[in-house]
Amino acid sequence: MGNEPGNTGYKIWAVDDVVYGPVELPQLVEWIQDERVLADTWLYRMDSQAWTKAGELDELRGLFSDTTNSSGTSLTPSATEPLIPGVKPGMLRRVKIFAAMTDQQLGRFVQIMEIERVPTFREICRQGGPGDAMYCVLDGEVRARILVAGRETTLATFAAGDVFGEICLFDDGPRSADVLANEDSTLLRIQGERFDRLCREQADLASPFLLALGRTLTARIRNDNKRLGELIALSRSSR
């Protein structure tokens, strides 16, 4: 009985270099139907203790029968494609606020994200515009700026691993600055409405993210306070 497919667990080796699981067969079938697990995805059977491609397992082979053409060539995306289309393997782990998440939590969390590629000089957010999403920088670089009397002042620069626009997850206020791409950049967009739903329905997943985000905001506040103190000290010394 212990070796029957319904009684074994599986681990999934995703192309972002993260191993997910163990998961049971019913959950695995759902992921196959959602095309989160493909015929070429590597699975580790807990009972046999061996890695095998999903399409080569007897209990799963039939689920992929509709994804091949008459010559037997797979019509599903290659297993070398990332967990999120457009995201290279391992890029998710660059984002600092994901550090506290387990592999399983990260695998679930990415389902609410959207990939956005931004060319150099493209405007991402406009000051006064609706604050409806936060962003994670996977690669490239962007800057936040304000215009005073037609002159630009750069408030902050964000590189791979940084996040911006996170305040929108807590209120519906307008954007406080413009954000533009300094170079070709790859961003993950987290829409506020989808995150609200996640908090209500999957609190266990939202908690580690919010904790990490709170620490990030705290560090920024400390740095801003320090910078303000230095400016005040400089202003007083010049009188």
* 5-67 and 91-237, same CATH topology: no
Residue with tokens 């074994």: 8
- What would the pLDDT profile of 78-102 be if each residue is shown by its tens digit? 433 445 655 665 677 778 888 778 7
CATH 3.30.1490.40 fits 5-67, yes or no: yes
Q: Which two tokens stand for residue 19?
A: 């191993």
Q: Which two tokens stand for residue 30?
A: 């759902």
CB 97 within 8 A of CB 136: yes
Query: Cα 90 to the chain's mean position, in Å?
Result: 11
Instruction: Classify domain 91-237 at the CATH superfamily level.
Output: Jelly Rolls (2.60.120.10)
User: Three-state SS for 212?
Assistant: helix
User: Three-state SS for 163?
Assistant: strand
**pLDDT of res. 124:** 96
Strand order in the sheet with 141-148: 123-125, 178-181, 141-148, 151-159
Q: Note the helical H segments in 4-87.
A: 25-33, 58-61
Distance in angstroms (rounded) separating the CA atoms of residues 200 and 124: 28
**pLDDT of res. 182:** 97
Distance in angstroms (rounded) separating the CA atoms of residues 93 and 99: 7
Domains of the chain by residue range: 5-67, 91-237
Residue segments in the chain with a per-residue pLDDT below the cut of 50: 1-7, 15-16, 67-82
